With several copies, the nearest count.
Chain A
Amino acid sequence: MKITKQQSGDILVVGVSGELDHHSSALLKSEIGAELDKGGVRHIILDLRELTFMDSSGLGVLLGRYKELGKWQGKMLAFGLQPVVEKMFRLTGLNQLIPVHPDLASCYKALGV
């Protein structure tokens, strides 16, 4: 798994590529955690275009970050889901907490940018 991070204003865009399972979820948790600790992040946009696999451990780590953002009414959005990842979002109801958008622009728009 590879992670990219890019911040603009109070929005952090996190790109996750490869396979997100229990093993790799620890890294995603600490990478996002490091950014949140700095204090300038309000919302997170997940760029999942390159994510080829996600199981319920991936779900758990995304839910955990979603809850942290909730402390300051921050939102989490996602775009670019491959069919196999989209299926996990739908099956588990994650898409009701983390809205799925077709592209980055539409995520920014939803955040009022």
Chain B
Amino acid sequence: MEVTNYFTLTIPAYSRNESFARVVVAAFAAQLDPTLEEINEVKTAVSEAVTNAIIHGYGEKGGEIVITCTLRADNTLEVIIKDTGVGIEDLEQAREPLFTTRPDLERSGMGFTVMEEFMDSVSVDSKPGQGTVVTMTKKLSTGEQGGHETNL
């Protein structure tokens, strides 16, 4: 399906950039005029993946996160969030609800579960020592289909 727009954003892995990452993806998705609920779901999923890169990928020691968003002619939004941190040893275990390697940081282990709930598809590619790439897609409604509720 034809790509109609895209962006690539590189940010340092600072926790204060979590909200910035959400705003940028939401502003980009808003060009389709989706519902407020869809925008909130995308924002939440982005927040989960970016936070994971900061906390788990880079162990809160900084590094860079690359976010790539693509819109296609069928109104599908694809969000790719990439870090070059420690990577994930056991992907299947990582995606289980309530599983976390950092209970000491009060992590709930629900990050991947939230991403899966709020997006249409979530795929994770990771190599220990090399980093993690989370790819999520979601089909958004457009204004004609009953959007017009957002104001970004």
Contact = CB atoms under 8 A, between A and B. Distances in A.
Task: Check A-B contact in the complex, CB < 8 A.
Answer: yes
Interface of A: 19, 21-23, 25, 29, 53, 55-57, 59-61, 63-64, 83-84, 88, 91-92
Contacts of A60: 105-108
Contacts of B117: 91
A56 B37 contact: no
Given A21-B51, A88-B114, A59 B108 contact: yes
B19 A92 contact: no
The SS class assigned to the B binding surface is helix
A55 B40 contact: no
Interface stretch (B4-12, B42-50, B61-69, B138-146): B42-50
10 contacts: A22-B18, A23-B15, A23-B19, A29-B106, A55-B48, A56-B113, A64-B106, A84-B40, A91-B117, A92-B110
Interface residues of B, number: 23
Contacts of B15: 22-23
A110 B130 CA distance: 51
B54 interface: yes
Interface of B: 15-16, 18-19, 22, 37, 40, 43-44, 47-48, 51, 54-55, 105-108, 110-111, 113-114, 117
Nearest to B117: A91
A23 B16 contact: yes
Contacts of B16: 23
10 shortest A-B CB distances, which residue pairs?
Answer: A23-B15, A60-B108, A64-B106, A56-B110, A55-B47, A60-B106, A84-B40, A22-B51, A59-B108, A56-B111
| Residue of A25, A55, A88 most packed against chain B (CB within 10 A) | A55
A91 B114 contact: yes
Contact of B108 (A21, A29, A53, A92): A92
Nearest to B110: A56
A63 B108 contact: yes
A22 B57 CA distance: 15
B19 A59 contact: no
A59 B107 CA distance: 8
